[in-house]
Structure 1
Amino acid sequence: MIKLGVNIDHVATIRQARKTFEPDPVTAASLAILGGADIITVHLREDRRHIQDRDVRLLRGTVFTKLNLEMSIAREIVDIAIETKPEQVTLVPEKRQEVTTEGGLDVVSHKKVLVDIVKRFRDAGICVSFFIDPEEDQISASKDVGAQYIELHTGNYAHARDDISKSKTIGKLQSGMEVAQKLGLRVNAGHGLTYQNVGLLVESMDVEELHIGHSIVSRAVFVGIQKAVSEMKELIFRHELARKALDQ
């Protein structure tokens, strides 16, 4: 079954708006797990705009499911990841001016430095994933430098506004998934997924993990995070059953 990774960065965003102590993303993580989250995802950005070093360390001590740390390839952040030892790191591109991560990591252009970073993580027993666009050269490069997972960037699908555009973006994601799986890479997906668009993706793709944040935290404002996670988990489950029924 597809595992749900809940990104709790936006809980920290609300806290940092007032530079105070609430709402606490560590508490949010515990409630998300009670709601059925299989993975807790956080992004420790270089500018510390939401998640703080303190959060990562506390989450490492309290998350009993899988902890996935999204991060740039900056030396300081790599060192923190090696110290805290999340089960998985997901390397992403990072720009100071962006609101959220846009587009996948350019693995091809960073192959030389990524080889050394991936080796450090794997020597420390940390699983490595790359957040990339569904392009064959990026997927092949991910395999070459030693990643175990890729997370396909679903932003173009999420932003598609008509059936033709959705079909094209789903087709690219499916092709990327197939290329990766043939190379022996494990495949996750995420970015911009919501309660409204996740169903078609699940029915179209056999991925291991979906990483979803903003939509769940937005829903949690009205129903609470435990219920919001539970609703997303149930939605993914129902659409996955539908896909498997069609495959039989």
Structure 2
Amino acid sequence: MTKLSVNINKIATLRNSRGGDVPNVVQFARDVQNFGAEGVTIHPRPDERHIRYKDAYDLKSEVYTEYNIEGNPIPKFVDMVLDIKPTQVTLVPDAVDAITSNAGWDTIKHKEFLIEVIKEFKNNGIRTSIFVDADLYQIEGAKETGTDRIELYTEAYAHQYGRGNKEAIIPYVKCAELADSLKLGLNAGHDLSLDNIKFFKENVMGLMEVSIGHALISESLYMGIENVIGRYLDKLK
């Protein structure tokens, strides 16, 4: 069964909009785990516009499933991850002004940098994953970095699937086959939702984990967080 990791950035965004502590990020992380989520994901950015670095530390003792911290490995981020030692760190090449993640790594161009960063994390017992586009060349490059896993950037699939184009799954199927042959673990995320997750899961072999935030939180406004998590778990069986 593919694990569901809930990205709770949007809860921090809502909290920050009023300047207080409602909704409480730590309590929400406890709740999604109690409702069946197998992981909690956060993605702190340098400006801390949603998840704050303090949140990352506060969550350390509260995430008893899998703790996944995403981000661009700038020095401040690297130091934080090494302090916290989450289950997994997912490296994402975010631009400082990016609203949300919008591209995977060029694993060829940044190979030496990624090798150095990944080695440091793995020496500290932290599983590593690299955010990549559905590009066979980039996945081959990811293998050379020493990463444990890759996370496929699924926005293109989600957009085309929403327009009725189910052939959009083909690049992801091919990437999954290549990852399997290279013995790379496979994660996926970005714009996956209750509408498109089942088809993705059924066609992409070896899918170990999906990280879902924006869609899951938005769907929960109508259907409730416990109900929505249950629906995702059913679709990921």
Alpha-carbon distance in structure 2 between the residues aligned to 1:103 and 1:19: 31
Give CA deviations for 1:122-155 in whole Å, capped at 9, x if unaligned. Answer: 0000000001011122111111111000011111
Task: Give the superposition deviation at 1:103.
Answer: 1.7
1:147 alignment counterpart: 147
Alpha-carbon distance in structure 2 between the residues aligned to 1:162 and 1:214: 19
The answer (yes or no) to whether the contact 1:103–1:155 under 8 Å persists in 2 is: no
Give CA deviations for 1:7-64 in whole Å, capped at 9, x if unaligned. Answer: 1110001111122211112111111111111111100111111001111111111111
Task: State whether structure 2 residue 171 is matched by structure 1 residue 176.
Answer: no
Task: Give the superposition deviation at 1:221.
Answer: 2.2
Task: Give the superposition deviation at 1:69.
Answer: 0.4
Task: Give the superposition deviation at 1:162.
Answer: 3.2
2:217 alignment counterpart: 217
1:242 alignment counterpart: none
Query: 1:230-241 maps to which residues of 2 (within 5 A)?
Result: 230-237=230-237
Q: Secondary structure at the match of 1:62?
A: coil
Unaligned runs of 5+ in 2: none
Alpha-carbon distance in structure 2 between the residues aligned to 1:25 and 1:230: 20
Alpha-carbon distance in structure 2 between the residues aligned to 1:92 and 1:229: 25
Percent identical among aligned pairs is 35
Give CA deviations for 1:90-147 in whole Å, capped at 9, x if unaligned. Answer: 0012123322111212222211111110111000000000010111221111111110
**Letter of the structure 1 residue corresponding to residue 163 of structure 2:** D
Alpha-carbon distance in structure 2 between the residues aligned to 1:159 and 1:223: 23
Moved over 4 A (4+): none
Q: How many residues align?
A: 235
Task: Give the superposition deviation at 1:226.
Answer: 2.4
Unaligned runs of 5+ in 1: 238-248
1:244 alignment counterpart: none
1:109 alignment counterpart: 109
2:7 alignment counterpart: 7
Q: Secondary structure at the match of 2:186?
A: strand
1:67 alignment counterpart: 67
Per mean C-alpha deviation after superposition, the further-off stretch among 219-228 and 188-197 is 219-228
Alpha-carbon distance in structure 1 between the residues aligned to 2:80 and 2:43: 12
Alpha-carbon distance in structure 2 between the residues aligned to 1:196 and 1:73: 32
Alpha-carbon distance in structure 2 between the residues aligned to 1:135 and 1:235: 26
For normalisation by structure 2, the TM-score amounts to 0.95
Alpha-carbon distance in structure 2 between the residues aligned to 1:75 and 1:197: 36
Query: 1:149-164 maps to which residues of 2 (within 5 A)?
Result: 149-160=149-160, 161-164=162-165
The structure richer in helix per residue is 1
1:190 alignment counterpart: 189
Alpha-carbon distance in structure 1 between the residues aligned to 2:98 and 2:159: 17
Alpha-carbon distance in structure 2 between the residues aligned to 1:126 and 1:227: 32
Alpha-carbon distance in structure 2 between the residues aligned to 1:88 and 1:112: 21
2:56 alignment counterpart: 56
1:37 alignment counterpart: 37
